[in-house]
């Protein structure tokens, strides 16, 4: 099992390396082009979205997660917003804006993560305006490449484990059903045996009745006397 897991980690890690690291790009936010970063991952949008939250937790940030995927409600202009994030190497917190899109119609299992970095409300920065903060955010996004393989593998392991648990529950139900059927069969066998005994008894009753009838028929008839 350990060897298999190690192999899968290497395999998925190789896939991740094949994908480029974070690239500088322009991202439309509130109909305005803003400086941002983009990263392609070989996973669908659901996996990438969950991975963002997982990585934020790893650096000590606690997204609002009351209820399932509550953080998705923090969406502004199509971006998931996370306020006051402390990135490694920075003394001041930043706001991170993420948008996750499917790469194309044909590539549903590939997604692109867009990230904007802001200091304060919609005060987006670029490498030119704040190189240190921009590079810290870029390093954070680049970390997704190597870590995403482990995250996806853990998801697959969890999914497979749940599938096994579901299959085991189904087997238990079938085994319980078998026990009930065995009891029913035993009861039916008892009922059958009882029915056969009753048939034999009834057959004897019929034979006795027929014998009595034959005896009655064999008796001479009594003629009435003439007076």
Listed residue (26, 31, 52, 38) closest to 126, CA to CA: 26
Domain that holds residue 65: 2-164
What's the first-to-final CA gap in the chain, in angstroms?
Answer: 115
Using the Cα atoms of residue 201, residue 207, residue 211 and residue 213 in order, give the sign of their dihedral: positive
pLDDT value, residue 225: 64
Q: Is residue 110 part of a domain?
A: yes
CB atoms within 10 A of CB 5: 13
Q: Count how many domains the chain has.
A: 1
180 lies in some domain? no
Entry pTM = 0.63
**Is residue 169 included in any domain, yes or no?**
no
Q: Collapsing DSSP states into helix, strand and coil, what is residue 27?
A: strand
Strands 32-41 and 75-76 come out as unpaired
Residue 220 lies in a domain: no
Q: Identify the pLDDT of residue 122.
A: 78
Position 184 in a domain: no
What angle, 0 to 180 degrees and rounded to 10, lies between the N-to-C axes of helices 2-18 and 131-218? 130
Assess if residue 197 is contained within a domain: no
Give the pLDDT score at 224: 62
Output the tens digit of pLDDT for each of the chain's 227 residues.
444 444 444 444 444 444 468 888 888 898 889 999 999 888 888 888 888 888 888 888 877 654 445 555 567 788 888 888 988 888 889 999 999 888 888 877 888 999 999 988 778 988 888 999 999 999 888 888 777 777 888 888 988 999 999 999 999 999 999 999 999 999 999 999 999 999 999 999 999 999 999 988 888 876 666 65
**What pLDDT shows up at residue 172?**
95
Q: Is residue 223 part of a domain?
A: no
d(CA 227, CA 26): 138
pLDDT of residue 9: 41
Q: Domain for residue 175, yes or no?
A: no
What is the rounded (10 degree) CA torsion for 55, 149, 142, 89? 40
């Amino acid at each position: 099992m350990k060897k298999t897991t190690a192999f899968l980690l290497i395999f998925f890690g190789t896939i991740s390396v094949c994908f480029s690291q974070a690239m500088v790009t322009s991202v439309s936010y509130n109909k305005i082009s803003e400086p941002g970063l983009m990263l392609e991952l070989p996973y669908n949008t659901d996996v990438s979205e969950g991975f963002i939250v997982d990585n934020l937790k790893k650096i000590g940030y606690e997204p609002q997660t009351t209820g399932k995927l509550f953080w998705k409600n923090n969406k502004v202009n199509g971006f998931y917003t996370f306020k006051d994030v402390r990135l490694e190497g920075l003394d001041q917190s930043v706001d991170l804006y993420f948008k996750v899109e499917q790469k194309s119609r044909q590539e549903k299992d590939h997604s692109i993560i867009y990230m904007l970095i802001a200091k304060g409300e919609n005060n987006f920065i670029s490498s030119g305006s704040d190189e240190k903060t921009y590079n810290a955010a870029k390093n954070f996004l680049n970390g997704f490449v190597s870590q995403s393989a482990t995250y996806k593998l853990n998801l697959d392991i969890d999914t497979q484990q749940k599938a096994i648990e579901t299959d085991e529950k189904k087997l238990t139900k079938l085994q319980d059903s078998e026990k009930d059927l065995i009891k029913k069969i035993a009861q039916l066998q008892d009922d059958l045996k009882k029915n056969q005994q009753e048939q034999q008894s009834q057959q004897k009753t019929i034979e006795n009745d027929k014998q009595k009838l034959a005896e009655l028929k064999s008796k001479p008839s009594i003629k009435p006397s003439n007076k």
